[in-house]
């Protein structure tokens, strides 16, 4: 008996995105852990997964990568547009550390937060709300940078009014020679930002899907809500908004470079991100699995070694 045998006729039938090929997913997850770095034909020649032994290494290495890009573009005299996540978060402390140690200013950086909790009309939380991503960015990155920080006018947040003009603002920066980097985590449902897999059902082609720059009040998948209940709300599902404003593939697939991270370990042998990691690295580009497009771009994906598995049953 396997998952496919039990799915039909169960409460889960229709719960998962209809475009998901579960036999293919299972093959992705059955790979040996030591093969996780093996290059695939669909990867960009300049894409590289980077294995980290523990969360401390992960935070430091990812933070160093962010800081180096800020340093490098500053030395080149280029503006830097960065699409930024609130999750993972530990890398911001290290990015601040390196930039401060080096005395490198982020005055040439334009930060575009990739998403924000919202209601169905795209109205977001008060910026000072403890759960607001705007508040989190101020506390984790912009604030601690002090005098080296990103200027206020160059900080963009995914509000109802601001998110729809991200595309024009980024296009204008790129026209002037700016580099675009997307920093991201991968969701349980393989979303990038809050661009969920089930959105693919609304489009007739991958080309049309790729043109979507954003969505206001996006309805989140139940497993995305539960992921955030576990990782950000101490298991309290009732606090997690069911909708969010988010950038789409029309923005993050424009990236000149990506800096990704998978740190979904819960301790005591438990984790939530191993399947998402393997799908991203092995499934192949598919609009029903948004994260599968990220290896087609140049850059790095940092991940905790334990997420590679083996992904096998274990009682904890």
Q: Per DSSP, which regions of 45-168 are E strands?
A: 47-52, 80-84, 109-113, 115-118, 155-156
**What per-residue confidence (pLDDT) applies to 177?**
98
Does residue 115 lie in a domain region?
A: yes
Does residue 120 lie in a domain region?
A: yes
Does residue 302 lie in a domain region?
A: yes
Domain extent, residue 158, equals 48-308
Using CA atoms, how far apart are residues 140 and 264, in angstroms rounded to an integer?
A: 19
Does residue 14 lie in a domain region?
A: no
**What per-residue confidence (pLDDT) applies to 1?**
58
Tell me if 22 sits within 8 A of 7, measured CB to CB: yes
Query: Is the peptide bond preceding residue 63 cis, with omega within 30 degrees of 0?
Result: no
Does residue 39 lie in a domain region?
A: no
**What per-residue confidence (pLDDT) applies to 80?**
98
Tell me if 114 sits within 8 A of 133, measured CB to CB: no
Does residue 24 lie in a domain region?
A: no
- End-to-end, the C-alpha distance of the chain in Å comes to 22
Cα torsion angle, 243, 227, 129, 113, sign: negative
Burial, 252: exposed, middle or buried (Cβ in 10 Å; 0-12, 13-18, 19+)? buried
Pairing of strands 109-113, 80-84: parallel
**Between the CA of residue 296 and those of 137, 186, 192, 247, 285, what are the distances in Å?**
28, 15, 14, 18, 8
Instruction: Provide block-wise average pLDDT over 10 residues at a time, the chain (316 residues).
Output: 70 88 97 98 98 98 98 98 97 98 98 98 94 96 98 98 98 98 98 98 98 98 97 95 98 98 96 98 98 98 98 86
Does residue 41 lie in a domain region?
A: no
Q: How many domains does the chain have?
A: 1
Residue 202 in 3-state DSSP?
A: helix
Residues contacting 291, CB < 8 A, separation 6+? 186, 187, 190, 191, 192, 276, 279, 280
**What per-residue confidence (pLDDT) applies to 4?**
64
CATH of the domain at 130: 3.40.50.1360
- DSSP of 214-230, one letter per residue? EEEEEEPPHHHHHHHHH
Using CA atoms, how far apart are residues 299 and 259, in angstroms rounded to an integer?
A: 6
**What per-residue confidence (pLDDT) applies to 2?**
67
- Closest CA relative to residue 298, chosen from 182, 126, 219, 140: 182
Does residue 16 lie in a domain region?
A: no
Tell me if 111 sits within 8 A of 70, measured CB to CB: no
**Between the CA of residue 172 and those of 16, 167, 168, 203, 249, what are the distances in Å?**
38, 9, 6, 27, 18
Using CA atoms, how far apart are residues 135 and 125, in angstroms rounded to an integer?
A: 10
**Between the CA of residue 310 and those of 9, 78, 122, 271, 278, what are the distances in Å?**
29, 43, 40, 12, 11
Is pTM beyond 0.75? Reply is yes
């Amino acid at each position: 008996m396997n998952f496919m045998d039990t799915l039909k006729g169960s409460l889960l039938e229709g719960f998962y995105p209809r475009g998901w090929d579960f036999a293919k997913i299972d093959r992705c997850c059955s790979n040996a852990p030591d093969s996780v770095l093996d290059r695939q034909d669909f990867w960009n020649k300049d894409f590289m997964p980077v294995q980290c032994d523990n969360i401390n290494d992960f935070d430091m290495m990812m933070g160093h990568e962010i800081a180096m890009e800020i340093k490098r573009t500053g030395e080149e005299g280029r503006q830097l547009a960065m699409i930024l996540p609130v999750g993972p978060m530990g890398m911001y402390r290290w990015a601040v550390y390196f930039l401060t140690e080096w005395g490198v200013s982020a005055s040439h950086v334009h930060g575009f937060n990739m998403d924000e909790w919202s209601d169905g009309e795209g109205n977001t939380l008060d910026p000072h709300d403890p759960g607001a991503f705007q508040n989190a960015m101020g506390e984790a990155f912009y604030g601690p940078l002090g005098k080296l920080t990103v200027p206020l006018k160059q900080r963009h947040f995914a509000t109802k009014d601001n998110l729809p003009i991200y595309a024009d603002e980024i296009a204008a920066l790129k026209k002037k020679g700016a580099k675009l980097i997307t920093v991201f985590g991968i969701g349980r449902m393989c979303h990038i930002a809050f661009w969920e897999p089930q959105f693919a059902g609304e489009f007739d082609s991958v080309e049309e899907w790729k043109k979507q720059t954003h969505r206001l009040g996006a309805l989140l998948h139940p497993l995305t809500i539960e992921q955030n209940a576990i990782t950000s709300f101490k298991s309290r599902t009732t606090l997690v908004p069911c909708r969010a404003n988010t950038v789409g593939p029309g923005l993050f697939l424009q990236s000149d470079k990506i800096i990704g991270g998978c740190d979904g370990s819960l301790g005591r042998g438990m984790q939530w991100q191993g399947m998402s990691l393997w799908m991203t690295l092995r499934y192949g580009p598919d609009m029903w699995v948004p994260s599968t497009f990220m290896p087609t771009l140049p850059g790095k994906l940092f991940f905790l070694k334990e997420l590679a598995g083996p992904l096998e049953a274990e009682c904890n």
